[in-house]
Structures are given as structure tokens and as C-alpha cells.
Amino acid sequence: MVLDLSTLPLAFQFTSPGPILRTIGPITIRWYGLLIAAAVLIGVSLSRYLAKRRQVDPELLSDLSIWLVIGAIPAARLYYVLFQWPEYAQHPDRIIKIWQGGIAIHGAIIGGLIAALIFAKVKQVPFWQLADLVAPALILGQAIGRWGNFFNSEAFGSPTNLPWKLFIPPERRPPELASFEYFHPTFLYESVWNLLVFALLLFLFFRGLQGKPRLKVGSLFLVYLATYSLGRLWIEGLRTDSLMLGPLRIAQVVSLTGIILGLAGLAWLYSAKRPLPDVVSTPKGGSGGVG
């Protein structure tokens, strides 16, 4: 007997209430912006907490968060605009309207990495130690931020009739799929995947408190890089709005690169038994262990 999932109760049918939470006079509060702000605040608090558990000054993480926001958000928008340039070239006024959506997480990661490298160089602190402390907060922030796509009715997958389908209003559907109403909720798939990665990173981080040896410095970030990229690789294949470079989905190319780099870095640490290359000059003895 074959179970027809489309006949199950639609307990998980998602319909966005719209991108705007509330309008107060001239001020418009959008879900997208609210979720990004919440992700940043929660991420900073979590990073500070993890820093305390590893005897690292939490104020260092507070300072770093400012650099990360300055580096990540403009880079995320620039990344998206560059790969959608034909559209934005015709409507340049839309480039700064980030509140309407259209930021790329891979652009944010690249911008954040550059900002973190500069921060580590300026502050003369170990980069890989910072990366390990930020990784759990980063993936949790990504899990939260994905719900902004839900409220904006964007970043959805191909048409589906599964019980957990997502309704997309006609004006948000691709022209070639205008006759379909329901699509894969890829925002949900990625959010759930990110929460699983977050749980894994916390488990690895705190395993040292139970008498287990701590992970080598840089391990936690490399696990984040490989596992997040693995989930994004297959989820991206479902999406209808992927950024493209010719026939290639850019996010899948970057994700595959992330998997390779993450696994290669872990092999370097544990098979070759060598520390990761010191990407910034740090004070002697300044690369203490991080869970």
C-alpha cells in the first residue's frame, strides 16, 4: 500500500501574513528587519556566554559583533545585487532597499570573515579562537533569519502538494509557475537543518566539561562550515530563485567548496596532526584551546 501524503491533514500548511509587522505613523516595522535584529542580539549574547566558559574576555566578542555586522550585511547585499545585476541595473533605487529582502548568506559569511580577520589583526588575538566562539551563534542566527524569507514569500522551492507545503501569493510566483499555489518551504528546511547543526556545535563545545578532551582550535568553525554547506547543497537544489552563473547555481558551488574546505581543515588538524595556519600574527601563547 502506497501512502498518498497529499491526503494528510494540512496541519503544516504555511501562509505568510505579509512582510510588515506594524506601521506606526511614518515608521514601518518589517518582519525581515526584526528577525535580523533578533538574530544579532541573541548571537552576541550567546557568543559572550561561550567566551566566559572558555575564559575569554566577553567584551572582545561584543566588539567583534559590531565589526561582523558592518562587514556582513553590506557584503550580503552586494553579493546578491551583483548576481542579479541586470534587474538592479534597470532599477538602481532598489539596491539600498535591503528591508525588502535580497541578501545572500554566503555574502554575509565572506564579509564577516574579512571583518573578523581584520579585527583579529588589529586586536592581536587568535582568529581561529574567535571563529570557534562565533560559529554556534552564527548558525543559530541563520536559523532565525531564514524565517524572514517566509514573511517575504521568497526563497521557496519547487511546486509540491506535500502536507507541509507553502502558499505563495500570485504576485510572488515565477511567471513560469504562476499556475501553482503551493511550493516547498525551503526556508523551513534550512532553518531546521541549521538548528540541528547548532545542537551539534553546542554538544562539541561542551563535551570538554564532561572530562572529554577539547577540540583543537578551529575545529568548531570547520564543523560548522562543512555541515551547514552540506545542508545548503541539497536544499538549494529545490529552490526556484537560485543565483546563477551560467548553468551553475552559485550557492551550490560555494557550498561544495565549503564542504571541501571544512573536511580538508579537519583532516589537517586530526590526520596530519598539525595546527591550522596562523592567519594573523598573535602574541606568543595566545592560541589557547576553544571547545
Domain ranges across the chain: 29-270
Spatial CB neighbours of 122, under 8 Å, sequence gap ≥ 6: none
| pLDDT, position 19 | 93
CB-CB contact of 137 with 44 (8 Å): yes
| pLDDT, position 9 | 53
Spatial CB neighbours of 287, under 8 Å, sequence gap ≥ 6: 126, 128, 129, 217, 275, 278
Q: Are strands 14-15 and 166-167 parallel, antiparallel or unpaired?
A: parallel
| pLDDT, position 208 | 64
| pLDDT, position 211 | 60
Alpha-carbon separation of residue 9 from 98, 164, 168 (angstroms): 37, 10, 19
- Provide the 10 A C-beta neighbour count for residue 269: 18
| pLDDT, position 242 | 87
The 3-class secondary structure across 98-129, one letter per residue, is HHHCCCCHHHHHHHHHHHHHHHHHHHCCCHHH
Helix (H) / strand (E) element for 190: namely helix 186-206
pLDDT along the chain (291 residues), means of 10: 49 87 91 93 96 94 95 92 85 79 88 96 95 97 95 94 93 94 96 98 84 83 98 94 86 96 96 88 49 44
C-alpha cell at 277: 595556519
| pLDDT, position 212 | 67
How many Cα atoms sit within 13 Å of 241 on the Cβ side?
21
CA dihedral 77, 80, 82, 88 (to 10 degrees): -90
CB-CB contact of 172 with 154 (8 Å): yes
